[in-house]
Amino acid sequence: MRLPQFNYTGPDTLEKALDLLAAHGQDAKILAGGTDLLVRMKKGLLAPKMLISLKALKDLSYIQQDKDAIRIGARTSLADIIASGPVQKEAAALSTACEKIGAATIQHFRGTLGGNILQDNRCFHYNQSAFHRSGRQACHKDGGKICYARDESDRCNSTCQSDGAVALMALDARLVLASKGHERTVAIADFYTTDGILPFAMEPTELLKEIIIPIQGAASAYQRLAYRSAIDYPIVCAGVLLKADTGKKDTIGEARIVVGAMARSPLFLAKESAELKGKSFTDTQAFQKAGNGAMNSASTFAVHNVGATLEYRCAMVAEMVVRALNEAAGSGKN
Amino acid sequence: MEKLDLTLNINHKPFDVRISPNDTLLEVLRDHLDLTGSKESCGEGVCGSCTVQLDGKPVRSCLTLALEAEGAIIRTVEGLADGDTLSPLQESFVNHGAVQCGFCTPGMLMTADALLKENPDPDEDTIRKALSGNICRCTGYAKIVEAVAHTAHPQDQCPDCASGIKSCCKAKE
Ligand SMILES: Cc1cc2nc3c(=O)[nH]c(=O)nc-3n(C[C@H](O)[C@H](O)[C@H](O)COP(=O)(O)OP(=O)(O)OC[C@H]3O[C@@H](n4cnc5c(N)ncnc54)[C@H](O)[C@@H]3O)c2cc1C
Ligand code: SF4
Ligand code: FES
Ligand code: FES
């Protein structure tokens, strides 16, 4: 499979990269590890006129820890994150999520955390070769007016299958977005549109610079289900965070439950999370109830477009959430 | 589209090539340099048959632009043997019947070689995990895992192999 033609540029400073984005944003794409972008380009899903490579921007690869946060440069490889002691200790969910992504030889050395968050949403009707897609009418995401995944749907329901984003939302991470002369920080929970075609609340002139994970002294865990243990995207996954009450060590003071691969973005389940407050870390019944609640909430968003049947994926939401809660509660971090 | 001149360092030799920005490393290896050991199968990152090493790490050459490989130390399957002398890993693949059609073999070798550089005597779980990104449609993987496990235990030192049992001591532990 040949790639379409494009111009390539490899700026060696962040300023130059942001200048290029300011000038060519609509026509350009950032190339990090390329393990998502190049596949989509080979399939003819997009054909940017210019690729702006992060290869020379080594300054964007780092993991720094200070008193209240871990800061990760967007270009940091998944392998570096998996190997990082601070990430394992303070953000276990992210460490596990990165380890589960695809397979070591595909992503871990070239794939980056920024690219993982910003990989496009997926749908098995759309992420196909040009030849496959030419056999039928175009769907919304392909510029047409129908959706094969949900009858009568007036918009695209593509699924966010990023492992990293689910863990980061559970960890309440923030994203630093830079554009020429400007920088802003957003909570990852506020970073998503409800549009399957353009899933991220981000301008084409913006570059993801850094991911900030607050250190909360909390336990976190990540669980995912896929057909194979490697080379496969999640069909359901869950990331959770459990923080002890400041007064009572054996009681949950704050919980965050996030379900992934079920909607256009990872889903932070506010109600189920809030209900765990005040429960004991050993209250497995409360965990089961949270799992069932998560299943009901997440099921309303999911469509049949990432592999296993919808019924199976919905049923497994509860299982993934319960496993993740048990893992976090039992991790001895409280 | 403009053509670009660049020098790639492949198997410790410099190669001057004139490429287009959209040429992948795999296309340059195979079509420009006749280094056809690395194979294209899926072309989209799934199978691992195109695996080469960049600075010692296994990567998919079908998803790596040639331009992105400039400046890196590139190693392909052609760089494993020393003249006609196979590397111990290659030798072990031959001795353990780890090659059937052979299409996955270059990728398997490059992934396993990178693993053995980090961990010369890995156990079965470690080997299976390291090779989990490489698909083989023929062997059922058992013989490949044995071959890798056996690299550090050549046949003449292995009681099983020496007594004619071809299955590997190490992989079965
Ligand atoms: C076979 C296979 C299996 C996979 N399995 C999984 C899986 O299980 N889980 C999973 O989550 N992913 C999976 N992936 C997807 C992908 O490999 C990973 O998500 C990887 O982390 C993407 O990172 P990258 O650096 O290669 O991204 P790229 O492909 O370089 O970039 C992805 C997107 O993000 C944009 N981008 C990247 N960095 C920036 C930045 N700093 N600022 C602005 N825009 C940016 C790019 O323009 C592009 O649109 C799989 C891919 C393949 C081919
Ligand atoms: S969810 Fe519907 S519109 Fe979106 S990519 Fe799939 S088929 Fe197309
Ligand atoms: S050809 Fe590169 S992974 Fe299949
Ligand atoms: S030997 Fe045929 S694919 Fe592995």
pLDDT band for B172, please (50, 70, 90 cuts). very low
The structure tokens 């210019």 sit at A50
Residues B35 and B93 in one domain: no
B6-25 pLDDT, tens digit per residue, is 999 999 999 999 999 999 99
Beta carbons of A188 and A175 less than 8 angstroms apart: yes
Classified as helix, coil or strand, A251 is strand
User: Pick from B79, B111, B141: which residue ends a domain?
Assistant: B79
Residues B93 and B158 in one domain: yes
Check whether residue B68 and residue B100 sit in a common domain. Answer: no
> Are B64 and B93 within one domain?
no
pLDDT value of residue B165: 55
B59 and B102, same domain (yes or no): no
Q: How many domains does chain B have?
A: 2
Mean pLDDT taken over chain A: 96
Position A185 scores a pLDDT of 98
Q: Closest Cα partner for A150 from A263, A288, A294?
A: A263
Question: C-alpha angle with apex B41: B39 to B43, nearest 5 degrees?
Answer: 100
Chain B residues within an 8 Å CB radius of A34? 63-65, 68
- Which structural domains are found in chain A, ordered by start? 1-56 (3.30.43.10), 61-118+159-332 (3.30.465.10)
Query: Hey, is the C-beta of A38 within 8 angstroms of any chain B C-beta?
Result: yes
On the question of pLDDT at B28 being above 70, the answer is: yes
Over its C-alpha atoms, chain A yields an Rg (Å, rounded) of 20
- Cβ pair A85, B116 in contact under 8 A: no
Q: Name residues whose C-beta falls within 8 Å of residue B79's C-beta, 6 or more positions apart in sequence.
A: B10, B11, B12
Reduced to 3 states, what is the DSSP secondary structure of residue A20?
Answer: helix
Beta pairing class for B51-54 and B73-75: antiparallel
Handedness of CA B44, B49, B53, B56 (dihedral sign): positive
Same domain for B103 and B67 = no
Whether B107 maps to a domain, the answer reads: yes
Q: Is residue B108 part of a domain?
A: yes
Q: Which pLDDT tens digit goes with each residue over A172-207?
A: 999 999 999 999 999 999 999 999 999 999 999 999
Does residue B54 share a domain with residue B22?
yes
Considering the domain architecture, whether residues B72 and B11 belong to the same structural domain is answered as: yes
* Model pLDDT, residue A230: 87
- Please report whether residue B170 resides in a domain: no
What type of residue sits at position A230?
A
According to the model, what pLDDT value does residue B95 have?
85
pTM of the model: 0.95
**Whole-angstrom distance, CA of residue A256 vs CA of residue A169:** 8
Report yes or no on B171 lying in a domain: no
* Residue whose tokens read 């540029």: A9
Task: Of A113, A111, A320, give the one whose Cα is nearest residue A235.
Answer: A320
CA distance A326 to A24: 48
Over the stretch A286-330, which tens digit does the pLDDT of each residue have? 999 999 999 999 999 999 999 899 999 999 999 999 999 999 999
Q: For residue range A42-70, what is the model confidence (pLDDT) as tens digits?
A: 999 999 999 999 999 999 999 999 999 99
Calculated CA dihedral for residues A316, A319, A321, A324, nearest 10 degrees: -130
CATH classification at residue B124? 1.10.150.120
- Closest chain A residue to B70 measured between Cα atoms? A55
B170 pLDDT band, cuts 50/70/90, is: very low
Token pair recorded at residue A242: 């459990």
Q: What are phi and psi of A252, to 5 degrees?
A: -75, 125
ipTM: 0.94
Is A47 part of the contact surface with chain B (CB cutoff 8 Å)? no
Q: How confident is residue B164, by pLDDT bands cut at 50, 70 and 90?
A: low
**Average pLDDT value over all residues in chain B:** 90
Contact (Cβ atoms closer than 8 angstroms) between residue B137 and residue B104: yes
Distances (CA, A) of A230 to A6, A135, A224, A262, B129: 31, 30, 12, 20, 8
**Residues B27 and B74 placed together within one structural domain of the fold:** yes
B101 and B121: one domain?
yes
Model confidence pLDDT, tens digit, residues B86-145 = 999 999 999 888 999 999 999 999 999 999 999 999 999 999 999 999 999 999 999 999
Position B168 in a domain: no
A130 neighbors A167 (Cβ within 8 angstroms):
no
Residue B25 lies in a domain: yes
Contact list in B for residue A28 (CB cut-off 8 A) is none
Chain A residues close to B135, C-beta within 8 Å: 231
Q: Are strands A63-65 and A69-73 parallel, antiparallel or unpaired?
A: antiparallel
Tens-digit pLDDT profile for residues A101-138: 988 877 778 899 999 999 999 999 999 999 999 999 99
Written as one string, the DSSP assignment of B44-72 is SSSS-TTEEEETTEEEEGGGSBGGGGTTS
Question: Is A279's pLDDT higher than 90?
Answer: yes
- Please name the amino acid found at residue A32: A
pLDDT band, residue B160 (cuts 50/70/90): low
Q: How far apart are CA A48 and CA A29, in angstroms?
A: 6
Which of A167, A184, A165 lies closest to A176, judged by CA? A184
The residue nearest atom 2 of ligand 4, judged by CA position, is: B101
Span B30-56, pLDDT tens digits: 999 999 999 999 999 999 999 999 999
What does the pLDDT read at residue B155?
A: 61
Q: Integer distance in angstroms from the first to the last C-alpha of chain B?
A: 56
Contacts 24+ apart (CB under 8 A), B78-83: B78/B11, B78/B35, B78/B37, B79/B10, B79/B11, B79/B12, B80/B109, B80/B110, B80/B113
The tens digit of pLDDT for each residue in A7-30 reads 999 999 999 999 999 999 999 999
Instruction: Residue window 9-38, chain B: list those with CB within 8 Å of chain A.
Output: 20-24, 27
Last residue of a domain, one of B79, B101, B124: B79
Mean pLDDT of the region B158-164: 57
Instruction: Looking at the structure, tell me whether residues B42 and B95 fall in a common domain.
Output: no
Of B37, B60, B79, the one marking the end of a domain is B79
pLDDT of residue A59: 97
DSSP A152-176: T-SS---B---HHHHHHHHTT-EEE
Model pLDDT, residue A326: 97
Expressed as residue numbers, the domain containing B29 is 4-79
Positive or negative, the Cα torsion across B126, B124, B100, B114?
positive
B140 close to ligand 4 (CB < 6 Angstrom): no
Query: How far is it between the farthest Cα atoms of chain B?
Result: 62
Domain CATH for B15:
3.10.20.30
CA of A200 to the centre of ligand 2 (A): 16
A43 touches chain B (CB under 8 A): yes
Same domain, yes or no: B93 and B141:
yes
What percent of chain A shows pLDDT beyond 90? 92
Per-residue pLDDT, A238:
98
CB nearest to B65's CB, from A1, A34, A39: A34
Summarised one tens digit per residue, pLDDT across range A88-104 is 999 999 999 999 998 88
Rg of chain B taking only CA atoms, in angstroms: 17
Tell whether B153 is covered by a domain.
yes
Give the mean model confidence (pLDDT) for residues A64-83: 97
Residue B27 maps to a domain? yes
